[in-house]
Structure 1
Amino acid sequence: MSDHDALLVDLDGTVYRGPDAIPGAVESLEAVRASATVSYVTNNASRGPDEVAGHLRELGLTLDTSDVVTSAQAGAAVVADQVAAGSKVLVVGTEALAEEIRLVGLDPVRAEDDAPVAVVQGHSPDTGWRILAEAALALNRGAVWVACNVDPTLPNERGLLPGNGSMVAVLRTACRREPMVAGKPAAPLLQQAITRTGARRPLVVGDRLDTDIAGGHAVGAESLLVLTGVSTAADLLAAPAEQRPTYLAADLRVVDGDLGPTAVDDGDTDGFSARREDGALVLAGGGDDPTAALRALCRAAWASDDGWHAVRADGDGAEKVISALGLVTG
């Protein structure tokens, strides 16, 4: 971690799934605090920073509430930049999001009859047709629209659930409009965290290529993908340039050590090698670390713009690790 002065760490799918910590996450993040600032940066706008901080403390993490940066805070800041102080803002989301709107000097409302000049939309498990209808009326009247994030899914202990992006898609379809986005992969949320920590060499850490890793690219920061949440090995091999991480690891335990071997471009492949052959990615060698094999496959996949259609194994050891990565051979 000597190359980075701050970790900007995602939560859902990275630190915890549902209410429970992912194995090794708490111990590793506590250890790294001796050498770097740790900031918890979440696209989930359903809870306030105090509630998020309380949950993290229950898991065993040491932090101040100011160490939590949410997309609700970023969304409120974006709205405040677009409208006059004291303006009415229709809130599609939880009371935690409404409170962030109050804190930036705006007036949260829940009905179009209140003549809101903006709509802010964040995740809430209780979002239903009625509030979406109110938002649609306001948007069709020309109100500013800010989405706290556009993640289509939300990981928890039961699997992938509909995220705020799925609800944003309802209004996108109904109103034929696109929102301004505050959360990852857009820059405002991560930039807020960078400003708050004063980091010069931040490392963005998360489980999603399309939000966490793309967000790192958006703010010019290196990034670490962990395979404990949404993005899979297959997603990584097919990732466009703007979603490719600097580092790759199985989970957060890697931050309590040397990141160098986990670099995708020049890190350790632990006896594995990969090549392109007849339109396929071919993995050879063997070892105990599936992520080392995945780094080798990434190098082969990303080395050329030429497409590939399958992953193949050259030997029993490679076959075993391809199965462990959830890749289908062809």
Structure 2
Amino acid sequence: MSGELVDGYDLVIFDLDGVIFLIDRPIPGAPEAVDRLRSEGTPVAYATNNASRRAPEVAALLNGMGVPAAPAEVLNSAGAAAALLAKRFPAGSPVLVVGAEALVAEVRAAGLTPVSGAEDEPVAVVQGYGPEVGWKILAEAALAVRAGAVWVATNTDRTLPSPRGPLPGNGSLVAVLRTALDRDPDVVVGKPEPGLFTTAAALSGAKRPLVVGDRLDTDIQGAVGAGMDSLLVLTGVSGPADLLAAPPERRPTYVAADLSGLFRPADEARLPTKAGGEAAPGQGAGGQAVEAGGWRLAGTRLSGAGDPVAALLLLCGAAWDGVPGKAIEGASPEATDMLKKWDL
């Protein structure tokens, strides 16, 4: 049996929405997990695509939830987008900002001039999430891009997790302009681009960082692109059905129900390394009957009872070996109920 999952890493990089909190509520166990990492001497960082708060505001929000954080530990797409534009354009250049006041502040802090209308002849449009973004500013952005402004999106997350379920994210707002302009943004700054992760590792001097996220299409794909191991927690957007259908570039190293998985044996969370073989210990491959954590998978029939994550590891081994998730059948009451809950 392996040691604790986190033991093999010298930095843990957390996503925020869906991992640490949901909108403004901490996810149960998250403050305790971060506090335990700190008490054990493991450095942490926070990398978020949400551009609606600046780093000091994010740190204050986290501390208010009982999650210890310093502004220097927070990297967000708003600051990264502003820094990119400052390198590309002369100081004082007008930039049309679509998003929250935090993005406006980041653009101003980078030495550029935030504007809100196409008549100001902006050299760029920077678009980030903001709950007050509406038709008027989107219309100005469309006019500016058609006039030649560079279009930079902080991120393209389609949804934001919330206690009531997924809500429209910046990607949904980007889609409005994409439809109107019939083109994609010139640059997408945030995850799945690896920059936030590589910057966090460089600032910490980490040689073996671990990325923890809730989205396969941003957090996990970004970690894969950065060459980093990753842990998918099932407290946010991506669920078991998404994981079974994930292509190789979106497959995490580990999966856990929540952040407590950081302190469980690594082998209890390790996913198969690739389709068709090289499974983690005790998982098997190639269609053989396999068992783990009280579950048994024989062909397409899942039976037994136990930790749902153990069953998910078995199912991923089968799915990534070519068995469709929808083909799995429950052969015990517990398995049937779990598969139904997972929409399989």
TM-score, with length taken from structure 2: 0.89
1:314 aligns with 2:331: yes
1:327 aligns with 2:343: yes
The equivalent residue for 1:271 is: 294
Q: Is the 8 A contact 2:244 2:325 kept in 1?
A: no
Deviates more, 1:35-44 or 1:162-171: 35-44
In 2, Cα distance between the equivalents of 1:38 and 1:260? 22
Map 1:204-243 onto structure 2 (within 5 A): 204-243=211-250
The equivalent residue for 2:107 is: 101
The equivalent residue for 2:171 is: 165
Deviates more, 1:72-81 or 1:289-298: 72-81
Q: Deviations over 1:83-107 (max 9, x none)?
A: 2333211100111111111222222
In 1, Cα distance between the equivalents of 2:36 and 2:129? 32
In 1, Cα distance between the equivalents of 2:104 and 2:118? 15
Shift of 1:77: 2.2
Shift of 1:240: 0.8
In 2, Cα distance between the equivalents of 1:206 and 1:62? 18
Q: Is the 8 A contact 1:9 1:205 kept in 2?
A: yes
In 2, Cα distance between the equivalents of 1:226 and 1:308? 19
The equivalent residue for 1:132 is: 138
In 2, Cα distance between the equivalents of 1:310 and 1:246? 24
Q: Deviations over 1:28-66 (max 9, x none)?
A: 111012232111111110011111111110111222111
Map 1:141-152 onto structure 2 (within 5 A): 141-152=147-158
The equivalent residue for 1:259 is: 266
Which runs of 5 or more structure 1 residues have no equivalent in the other structure? none
The SS at the match of 1:54 is: helix
The equivalent residue for 1:295 is: 313
Deviates more, 1:115-124 or 1:260-269: 260-269
The equivalent residue for 1:8 is: 13
Q: Deviations over 1:224-263 (max 9, x none)?
A: 0000111111111111111111000000112234333211
In 1, Cα distance between the equivalents of 2:320 and 2:146? 43
In 1, Cα distance between the equivalents of 2:221 and 2:86? 25
Q: Is the 8 A contact 1:29 1:256 kept in 2?
A: no
Which runs of 5 or more structure 2 residues have no equivalent in the other structure? 1-5, 273-279, 283-291
Q: Which runs of 4 or more aligned residues in structure 1 lie more than 4 Å from their structure 2 counterparts after TM superposition?
A: 306-309
In 2, Cα distance between the equivalents of 1:7 and 1:210? 19
1:73 aligns with 2:53: no
Q: Deviations over 1:119-140 (max 9, x none)?
A: 1100000001110011101100
C-alpha RMSD over aligned residues:
1.7
The SS at the match of 1:159 is: coil
In 1, Cα distance between the equivalents of 2:298 and 2:86? 51
The SS at the match of 2:328 is: strand
The equivalent residue for 1:114 is: 120
Q: Is the 8 A contact 1:236 1:298 kept in 2?
A: yes
Structure 1 residue corresponding to 2:303, chosen from 274, 284, 302:
284
Q: Is the 8 A contact 2:271 2:313 kept in 1?
A: yes
The SS at the match of 1:35 is: coil
Shift of 1:314: 2.5
The equivalent residue for 1:21 is: 26
Opposite residue 2 of structure 1, the aligned amino acid is D
In 2, Cα distance between the equivalents of 1:177 and 1:125? 24
Q: Is the 8 A contact 1:5 1:35 kept in 2?
A: no
Shift of 1:267: 5.7
The SS at the match of 1:139 is: helix
In 1, Cα distance between the equivalents of 2:58 and 2:142? 30
Count residues with an aligned counterpart: 321
In 2, Cα distance between the equivalents of 1:197 and 1:122? 27
In 1, Cα distance between the equivalents of 2:135 and 2:337? 47
Deviates more, 1:229-238 or 1:309-318: 309-318
Structure 2 residue corresponding to 1:181, chosen from 167, 184, 188:
188
Identity of aligned residues (%): 50
In 1, Cα distance between the equivalents of 2:199 and 2:24? 26
Opposite residue 296 of structure 2, the aligned amino acid is S
